[in-house]
Structure formats: C-alpha cells, structure tokens
C-alpha cells in the first residue's frame, strides 16, 4: 500500500471562531519625479491613474481566493486604498486596508490590493517611465483572531 503525499492543502478553519479582523498592507512604487508630477496634474495619456489604481486594488482584494489558490474565500466588509504622494519625491506610497468578519485573516487581501494598485500605476505610466520599480510590499498591521494584533515597528496610521 503506497503512502499518500500531500503537497498542498488548504488550512482547515472549521473549528475557529469568527472574529472581526483587519489587515493593512503597504508598498511603494518608485517613479521619476516628472512622472509623479504628470500623475498629480492628471496628464497621463490613459487617464486618472490613481482612480484606476484604487479601483483595481479593490477588485483585486475581492478576487484574492481566485488568484492565491490556498486562500479561503472571505466576506470583505470594507476595502480602502489610499495614496501618499510626497512633494519633491520619486515614489507613491500605497496603503490598503481589508476588513471583515471571518475565521481567518485578511492579510492576503490587503497585500494583493496594494500590489495590483501598484501594477496599475505601472501599466498606466509605462509609456513615459519604464524604469519604475514596485518595492516594499509588506503587512504593516493586522488585528483579530487567535494570534492577536500585529503592528510593524515603523507603521504610522497618520501616513495612510
């Protein structure tokens, strides 16, 4: 009799209690200062970069279990995407918050939301700035569940 080998598995959360949960992800997309100025002025040929990126991030969070195979389908109650464009800088900081009530966390929804938002900025600006880089995709905060809260040591809510 041969032994079965499990290469992948979805974690069984049947016995876990549903709790209110939130996760916050962040990333940066580094762009030329001239590109950032065109984004600010709404002069990118494809249109309103930040509105498209914001919408794409929300859609991505909702599609997480389709794109990340072992993620559980979760009922999102809110997804929020924010952008920080500092003066005289060469980056846009993207923050995504994903909230809901469930048996497992919303980390992947928040991380996918910032990633897809950044990819949409890249797509809309690549004709003028092919050297853009997407950096520092990371979880900065989570709450709820058995493992409790996590807050990155350098996370500041005011910067969202």
Q: Is 90 a catalytic residue?
A: no
Tell me which of 48, 90, 123, 129 is the catalytic residue: 123
Q: Which residues pair with 29 in a beta bridge?
A: 92, 134
Residue 73: DSSP 8-state: P
Among 26, 7, 30, residue whose Cα is nearest residue 98: 26
User: How far is C-alpha 145 from the geometric centre of its chain's CA atoms?
Assistant: 20
| CA angle, 139 then 92 then 82, to 5° | 60
Residue 140 backbone dihedrals phi, psi, to 5 degrees: -110, -15
Q: Which residues are catalytic?
A: 123
């Amino acid at each position: 009799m041969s032994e079965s080998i499990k290469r992948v598995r979805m974690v069984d959360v049947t016995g876990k209690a549903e709790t209110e949960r939130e996760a916050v992800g962040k990333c940066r997309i580094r762009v030329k200062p001239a590109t950032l100025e065109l984004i600010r002025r709404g002069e990118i040929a494809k249109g309103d970069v930040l509105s498209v990126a914001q919408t794409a991030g929300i859609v991505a969070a909702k599609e997480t279990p389709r794109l990340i195979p072992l993620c559980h389908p979760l009922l999102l109650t809110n997804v929020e995407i924010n952008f920080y464009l500092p003066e005289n800088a060469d980056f846009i900081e993207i923050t995504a918050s994903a909230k809901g009530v469930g048996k497992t966390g919303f980390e992947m929804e928040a991380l996918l939301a910032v990633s897809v938002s950044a990819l949409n900025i890249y797509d809309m600006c690549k004709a003028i700035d092919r050297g853009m880089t997407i950096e520092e995709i990371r979880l900065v905060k989570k709450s709820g569940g058995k493992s409790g809260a996590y807050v990155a040591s350098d996370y500041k809510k005011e910067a969202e």
